[in-house]
Amino acid sequence: MAAEPSNLGMALMGSSPLFRTLVLPIIAVVVVAITIISTTAYGLYVRDLDRSFKAQLASEAAALAIGRPEAEMLAADNPGLSGARVTLIAAHGVALFDSYNDLDSLGSLLDRPEVLRATSHGSGEATRVNRQGELLHYAAQAIVVGDNIVGYARVARPASELRERAASVRNLLALLAVLTTVVGVLVVGLVIAWHVVAVRRILGVSDCLLKGEYSNRLPIHREDELGYLSRRLNELSSDTVGRIEQEQQISRRLAAILAGLNEGVVAVDDEQRVIHINAAAYQMLNEVDRSGTGMPFWEVVRVSEVIGAVDEACSKQSTARLQADIHGRQYDVSVIALRDGELEGVGAIVVLQDVTDLIHLEQVRTEFVANASHELKTPIAAIKGFVETIIDDPEMPDLIRDRFMRRLRVQAGRIENLVQELIALSRYDAARETLPLAPVDLAYVVRQAYQNKQEDAESASVMLEYEGPTRSLEVQGDNEALAQLVVNLIDNGIKYVDTGGHVKVRLFDLGRHAVLEVEDNGIGIAAGEQERVFERFYRVDKARSAEKGGTGLGLAIVKHIAHAHQGTVVVESAPDRGSLFSVRLPLIGESLGLPK
């Protein structure tokens, strides 16, 4: 892997602590090693040079000892003796020849160390300072004729010659040591810098990983430990990117799931600050906008019971459930504290479920059961009383028995009507989406209902009138259900009109809708009760309704049938001024979303 020049230069200049840590000790070791090697080599060389020098002297002395006796001619014929002091010594110690000094000045030389050793060993060496103060190396060789020493040949050379040769070698070794040190330091520095640059690249990618930048990758051109580390770091980056993408995908799915929930979900951290709130919770907590994230929970939900439940659940690592009133609606609130490690960064999850409609339905169900029980209780009690009376009096006259039997039939009819209307109400309530619809001529259905109720109107001394088109008005609906809707409205008008009153039935088209109106001049309905007349078992005048055999379910059935046909029903009324019920149904084409 080639290092960039800038990075390599920075490493060589010592800007990297790792480079300094590695290079300086290695440089010191290299310098010490080269110094030791150079010193040792120089010492060995000097020792060998000294031995060689002395051996040369001994060799020269030996050559003189076996040469011709004429010293001058011997010195001239031997170029290797140039610069050397040559002395020929007689057996009794008198110098016969000396190439440096006057013979008279020498005196006896038998006491010289080299001569003494030559006398005893045949050859001798010595090093000493001469009269001129110059250090010389001497070598003497005995000249033997037969078994007798007849003289000595001595050669001397100045020690400076040896020092000069040693100095030249020392200088050369020093130069080589310096060059070797420089080259070694450069090579070591380059090698270490190469590794340091690789390490710095790894550190750079590691820093990027810590910052959340996972796109950087390390080039891999080496098979050593750093190359292995680079590969693993690249694998870690790729794996981290994959994990992040997977977690982001899971997070997006979770957000989509939470967004689609009808329940409100609020997640808070350990400090009870909102870290997530879904769309349903925004709607439930309608005073909070999108800036709710990051706000303290107690500023988002200003309900003391809920705040206390969250605080208790978080502090005790438990679960809390309660019902709370938030902005006028009832909510089941569940607070689930998350234990350590379950979901990082989340302290608790608050789930809000709007149960207002469920509570209302439960109330309606309870009232329905109570009302149905009450409506059944009266006729059943009457039937039971009549039956017991008949059984207890077997001698009862036939006329009275017949009267009781007729009353039994009336009460049984009330029960039958109630059961039939309950069945109808259940059918139309459950058939909002499944009611089989087909084209129905609403004008014909209304005319038939009008004609069928004429007899009931005459029996109650009520004038029943009809005003409608001669042509057909087709709606998409169920014929039986629409017929019951019209009959129930007419029945309701007849029941609540005094003798001599009137009920008017009108049918007309208004734009894209057919409108059915049933108007009476009966007792009317107070403004506060007009919304309740469509509730099950609700009666404006209970005594009149019971007297007329009403069950209190007729208008509830009308409402359910109208809604099952995508229609509406409204009432306009005032006490003692009568009532006007209006049903609006879409004409053919409108109910299918088609142009008329």
> Residues 257-316: pLDDT tens digits?
777 777 888 888 877 788 888 878 777 776 555 556 777 877 777 788 888 888 888 877
What's the CATH fold of domain 261-354? Answer: Beta-Lactamase (3.30.450)
Highest mean pLDDT among 23-37, 110-124, 163-177, 351-365: 110-124
Is it true that 59-161 and 261-354 share their CATH fold?
Answer: yes
Which range is least confidently modeled, 286-295, 327-336, 557-566? 286-295
Residue 2 has pLDDT above 70, yes or no: no
What pLDDT is attached to residue 155?
A: 83
Mean pLDDT, rounded, for 105-127: 83
Which pTM value belongs to this model? Answer: 0.46
Domain over 433-586 is classified CATH 3.40.228.10: no
What integer pLDDT is reported at residue 466 of this predicted model?
A: 94
- C-alpha torsion sign, points 244, 246, 249, 253: negative
Exposure string (b/e) for 518-539, b if CB count within 10 Å is 16 or more? Answer: bbbbbbbbeeebbeebbbbbbb
Sign of the dihedral through C-alpha 390, 391, 396, 398: positive
Q: How far apart are CA 383 and CA 408, in angstroms?
A: 6
Where do the DSSP E strands lie in 408-473?
438-441, 463-467
What is the CATH architecture of 59-161? Answer: 2-Layer Sandwich (3.30)
* Pairwise pLDDT comparison (56 vs 544), residue with the higher score: 56
CB proximity list for 348: less than 8 A, separation 6 or greater: 267, 268, 272, 310, 313, 314, 335, 336, 337, 338
57: which DSSP letter? H
Domain boundaries, the chain: 59-161, 261-354, 433-586
Residue 136 CB coordination number (10 Å): 20
Is residue 6 over pLDDT 60? no
Three-state DSSP at 481 gives: helix
pLDDT in tens, 160-187: 777 777 778 788 888 888 888 888 778 8
pLDDT at res. 57: 66
What does the alpha-carbon distance between residue 307 and residue 320 come to, in Å, rounded to a whole number?
A: 11
Report pLDDT digits (tens) over 32-70: 888 888 788 777 777 776 677 667 667 766 766 665 444
If 0-12 CB within 10 Å is exposed, 13-18 middle and 19+ buried, where does residue 345 land? exposed
Query: Within 10 Å of residue 411's Cβ, how many Cβ atoms?
Result: 19
**In whole numbers, what is the pLDDT of the chain averaged over residues?**
77
The percent helix, strand, coil of the chain (3-state, each to 5) is 55, 20, 25
* Confidence (pLDDT) at 68: 41
Q: What is the mean pLDDT of residues 401-407?
A: 85
Written as six digits, the tokens of 286 are 């309608």
What pLDDT is stored for residue 430 in this prediction?
A: 58
